[in-house]
Amino acid sequence: MALFNLTKEQLFNVTNLSPESITVGAVERNMCFSVMYATAGNANLQIGCNSFLLTDNTILLLFQNDLVKFAEVSDSFSAKLVLLRSMAFQEAFARLEQYIITIVSKERIYTFNENSSSNRFINNLLDNLLILSEKSSGDYVYDQVRCHVRSLLTCLFDNIEKNSESASIRFNRIEEHFCQFIKLLAEHCRQSREVVYYAELMNITPKYLNYICNYVARIKCKAIIDRYAISQIKNDLMMTDKTIQEISYDFNFANQSFFGSYFKKFMRVSPRAFRTLGTSDNHEKYQFDDKF
The SS3 assignment for 107 reads helix
The per-residue pLDDT for 167 is 46
If pLDDT is split at 50, 70 and 90, which confidence band does 165 have?
very low
Read off the DSSP letter of residue 116.
S
The predicted-structure confidence for 51-104, as pLDDT tens digits, reads as follows: 999 998 889 988 888 899 999 999 999 999 988 877 666 666 555 455 566 666
User: What is the pTM assigned to this prediction?
Assistant: 0.58
Average pLDDT over the chain, rounded to an integer: 82
Contacts of residue 124, Cβ cutoff 8 Å, sequence gap at least 6? none
Beta bridge pairs of residue 54: 43
The SS3 assignment for 94 reads helix
| Alpha-carbon distance values, 41 to 15, 57, 74, 212 (Å) | 17, 10, 6, 40
| Higher-pLDDT residue of 186, 289 | 186
Residue 268 phi/psi, 5-degree rounding, is 65, 20
The predicted-structure confidence for 8-57, as pLDDT tens digits, reads as follows: 777 788 889 999 999 999 899 888 888 899 999 999 999 888 899 999 88
d(CA 291, CA 222): 12
d(CA 177, CA 202): 8
| Residue 282 reports pLDDT greater than 80 | no
| Higher-pLDDT residue of 31, 197 | 197
| Higher-pLDDT residue of 30, 248 | 248
